[in-house]
Amino acid sequence: MKHLRFRRPVLFLAGLWFVLYRDHSGLLRVGLLAALLHECGHVAAWAAMTKSLPVLSFSVRGIGLDTSAALLSRRQTFLLALAGPLTNFVLCAAVLCAMQLSASYWGYFFAAANLATGLFNLLPLGDLDGRRMLQCLLP
């Protein structure tokens, strides 16, 4: 497998550093971790389907996979879009199950951040996963 390649990370990373520097509560870090794990779900699905690693693009809207070079079927595109939210829902369920043994506020924050990230990305708007999934289902 090739290494991950990044496009335009400097401005994105500078903004991310500033926001994290100003996050005194730590809640933003939990939300960003949920978003990062969401993207890891997409990367894992991409790697399983294409046997290569994708190009990641950084922008003001966040991190995205550059899928323009790939020839994916509608089913593969649907599964690729589903992988991110599914990762968030599995993590949310796993953390909530683990919270039955030892509860903590951070565990609940992490579960809530994953649930919110997964649900938000299922909206059929803009560049979100829900729109891609809906496009694959429609003729």
92: Cβ contacts below 8 Å, ≥ 6 apart: 111, 112, 114, 115, 118
**Other C-beta atoms lying within 10 Å of the C-beta of residue 36:** 11
pLDDT, average across residues 114-130 = 95
d(CA 96, CA 90): 10
Give the predicted TM-score (pTM) of the model.
0.85
Give residue 15's pLDDT band: very low, low, confident or very high (50, 70, 90). Answer: confident
Domains of the chain: which residue ranges? 26-53+67-137
**Residues 26-69: tens digit of each pLDDT:** 888 999 999 999 999 999 999 999 888 888 777 767 777 777 76
| Lowest mean pLDDT across 38-42, 54-58, 84-88, 119-123 | 54-58
State the pLDDT at residue 109. Answer: 96
In angstroms, the first-to-last Cα distance of the chain is 34
